[in-house]
A and B are shown apart, each in its own frame.
Chain A
Amino acid sequence: MSAVLVYFESVGAELTTAQQELITLADAVGEVQVVTGSTTSDAVHALALEGVHTLYTGEGEIHAPDPAVIDLLETAVQETRAHAVLARNTADTTDALARLAVRLDTGLITDGVGLSHDLRITKSVLAGSYTTTARVAEGRPLIATLKPNSTEPYLVPGGAPEIVTLPVTPAAAEDLRVLERTPLEASDRPSLTEARCVVAGGRGLDGDFGPLEELADELGAALGASRAATDAGWIDHAAQIGQTGVTVSPQLYLSVGISGAIQQRAGMQTAQTIVAINKDEDAPVFEIADFGVVGDLFEVVPQMVEELRKRRS
């Protein structure tokens, strides 16, 4: 069976849900090999799964923007003769796979939501208004990034993979140097792109995300926002869902105090179930919501929280 190479920027003590999904997708189309630029001693336990054969690493930590990431990937492809290379669709992995595709003279398909046994990628394009299938030219390896929430993870514990250190070292080039690193603010909530449930707020919140935070915590949801809310500075820009922000495809999307103009819709209309709360009955969001409430969010949201707590106890 031919190999499928899965690239993770880093592997920790536990795989993230998105990482589990990638292994599940890869396992369906070949023998899974993992390559990473950053690993801890726990990684081998996290990857002790049926179907995962080898863990490839470099000599030392290799991260974007270091171009050695591409050397690492290229060496791993040569080593495994992989007929497909898969990774998550973060900006840094997209860069790495894009450059790898140039070196291998093959096609790159980004932001897939499905992978078939004959290596066709399903994508949602033009802000969710079209679904396409695509593949790379015959006889060339598939290079693809996949979005989180593309499949249900299915993993079976197994033996520890073999660890192979490839002869690739970080490029300590003087002409490309990271002067300073600041970790992005970590949150206890799930990340926006990976969450199964997203609660998003807009102009209607009038600067007060308090009730929504409470609801998000009650649902185990990620917190998002419309552009109006991020532009007003009520919440960090990284929370923006829409055409120029993050695109999410959760199982449940709760839109609160957001009118749902096309800019916003582009980022959320592929959600499985959409629930909307807005005081304006003409808000466009009601045209796409599976369940809509015309009402005062400051009354409806706290009542939801109370009801969820009541049913949980």
Chain B
Amino acid sequence: MPDAAAGTPLHIITLVKWVPDAQLERRFTEERHIDRSEGILGELDEHPLEAALRIKEAAEDREVRVTALTMGPAGAAAAAKKALQIGADDAFVLSDDALAGADISATSTALRAAIERVQEVSELDGELLVVTGMASEDGESGAVPAQLAERLGVHLLSQATSVELAEGRLVVTRTATVEQQTVSAALPAVVSVTDQANDPRYPNFKAIMAAKKKPMTELSLTSVGIGPTSVKPRAQVLTAEPRPPRHGGTVITDEGDAGVQIVDFLQKERVL
């Protein structure tokens, strides 16, 4: 059966975020923003990239471009570079001082403008598929994909555990609150994938060398056509206090009665 969408190029824009390494100590700045001066490509963002590359590899008779888009402070270009090494065709980095401390609303507003700008300058004129991870590892809200879909006016398929294109339509398996759903949707769409969707590849030496020749474009709010007022946060963090560290309590070595001692402890703490 001929592919209904054959001939129409597909533009997959994958969102990647440069996040503070969760293995290290993470903290808030005096402005009550998460300190984003150091970072890595979010582990959860390797899954959407992998999903995008597999769609590209499976597409036989249509041109597919995989673009990595990141938004963040100056260092965020490192996440875009890593995405190019893993296999993205090109990358865009949106960086602007007005985006420091962006909330969900500001982030999705800026990303929407960036995606539209990327489509314009790409001259691919293809169908749009935005693929994201299930959440960022710092903000952790998982709400940006939904806001982005709403702002772009396209379908949202979140929490996908598999993504395929069949005859030009998306077929996604997703985990809803009480059931597993297989959903078929037309493009354009935003799809967020979980860490169960695939096993991301590692870049090999050849891919790392090839990435040096791939285009990376810097964007600012001005170049994506929006002013600082439209990215004013709609939610404000009033206080940010480090949680008092947990201290270890009693540790005993089992001498044959540890099970009984635990039950004693639970009874004493009234948690039974």
Contacts and interface: CB of A to CB of B under 8 A. Distances in A.
B149 A99 contact: yes
B104 interface: yes
Interface residues of A, number: 93
A177 B185 contact: yes
B159 to A, nearest CB: 5
Consensus secondary structure, chain B interface = mixed
Given A92-B177, A179-B184, A296 B254 contact: yes
Interface in B124-174: 134, 137-138, 140-147, 149-151, 155-159, 171, 174
A292 B252 contact: yes
Contacts of B249: 289-292
A130 B178 CA distance: 31
A135 B140 contact: no
A1 interface: no
A156 interface: no
A107 B106 CA distance: 9
A172 interface: no
Contacts of B233: 107, 137
B185 A175 contact: yes
Contact of A137 (B138, B234, B242): B234
A182 B254 contact: no
A238 to B, nearest CB: 8
B201 interface: no
B177 to A, nearest CB: 5
B179 A95 contact: no
Interface residues of B, number: 83
A294 B251 contact: yes
Interface string A254-280: 000000001100100110111101000
Interface in A267-313: 269-270, 272-275, 277, 281, 286-296, 299-308, 311
B248 A293 contact: no
Contact of A303 (B156, B239, B258): B258
Interface stretch (A20-28, A41-49, A120-128): A120-128
A291 B262 contact: yes
B252 A252 contact: no
B22 interface: yes
Interface in B162-217: 171, 174-186, 195-196
Nearest to A10: B178
Interface of A: 9-10, 63-65, 67, 70, 90-99, 101-103, 105-111, 120, 124-137, 140, 175-184, 197, 219, 237, 243-244, 251-252, 262-263, 266, 269-270, 272-275, 277, 281, 286-296, 299-308, 311
